[in-house]
Amino acid sequence: MGSHKLELGRYRVRVAEGVQDLHAAQRLRSLAFRGDDTGLDTDAYDSLCTHYMIEEVISGRLVCGFRMLPLNGGDEIGRSYSAQFYELDALKTYNGRMVEMGRFCVHPDVYDADVLRVAWAAMTSYVDENNVELLFGCASFAGTDTSTYLDSFAMLRDRHLAPTRWLPKVKAPKVFRFAARLRRKPNLKAAQLSMPPMLRSYLLMGGWVSDHAVVDQKMNTLHVFTGVEVKAIPAARKRLLRALAG
């Protein structure tokens, strides 16, 4: 996205420019996260990030947004949004460039899977242009009732835990230690159905998660720290993503 714009089918993605764009992104976040289309969802990280906006080509309606925070290496991991909630000292020794993807949201009235494909195309372009080796963030489940997602958490425990050398430790005051405390065998179909689409995409690329979920009352979510090492993404999936990114 050297030109800061990418068009795929009915959608285009571009980098936010100026206060008006930023406010539009923050309004969408407020609507998606809090059900309030009049307020703005803001925090101190907004000024540090590059914000991406996915719009309908014909109407110009904003349907999706996310932000990217670049880090030169693991010694900067403490600057990340995720570091508020997870003890990430293990990642301080990570040698490559990183980017934190955050505040990903889709308009509540939009159900088109192409939106997620366009988002991943933009992220792929960013990763390639900036020689990023680790993409990470907090992948969120809606609501804070863990019982809704037990099959998903059991599947994460069995198949997708972070390598021990990178495993985040507990920092937040309220967490669900699903790897240590969940005893059930996952129903894989139910697990996939209740898995958030963004997290499902991370996992398809070889992504891994923390061994616990943070109960975030402020955002009304449960989230897991999620990482994708770019070198570990399956070759076929890399080709597909790069084809989308053009």
pLDDT band at 4 (very low <50, low <70, confident <90, very high): low
d(CA 241, CA 78): 29
d(CA 233, CA 242): 12
Contact, 244 vs 124, CB < 8 A? yes
Quick one: tokens of 228? 């994708």
d(CA 80, CA 188): 32
**Over 70: is that where the pLDDT of 2 sits?**
no
Task: Count other C-beta atoms under 10 Å from residue 47's C-beta.
Answer: 8
Q: What is the mean pLDDT of residues 106-126?
A: 94
d(CA 243, CA 246): 5
pLDDT for res 24: 98
Query: What does the DSSP assignment read for 149-169?
Result: GHHHHHHHHHH-BPPGGG--E
User: Which of 1-15, 44-58, 134-148, 220-234 has the lowest average pLDDT?
Assistant: 1-15
Tokens 């599947």 sit on residue: 155
d(CA 242, CA 109): 28
pLDDT for res 144: 96
Please return the burial class of 16, using the count of CB atoms within 10 Å of its CB with bins 0-12, 13-18 and 19+.
Answer: buried
d(CA 166, CA 235): 23
Local structure of 188: helix, strand or coil = helix
Local structure of 180: helix, strand or coil = helix
Quick one: tokens of 229? 């090492």
**Over 90: is that where the pLDDT of 242 sits?**
no
Contact, 228 vs 134, CB < 8 A? yes
What's the one-letter identity of residue 29?
Answer: R
Residue 101 φ/ψ, nearest 5 degrees:
-100, 125
Residue percentage of the chain with pLDDT more than 90: 91
- Stronger pLDDT, 1 or 71, i.e. the higher one: 71
Average pLDDT in the chain: 95
Q: What is the mean pLDDT of residues 181-208?
A: 96
pLDDT band at 246 (very low <50, low <70, confident <90, very high): confident
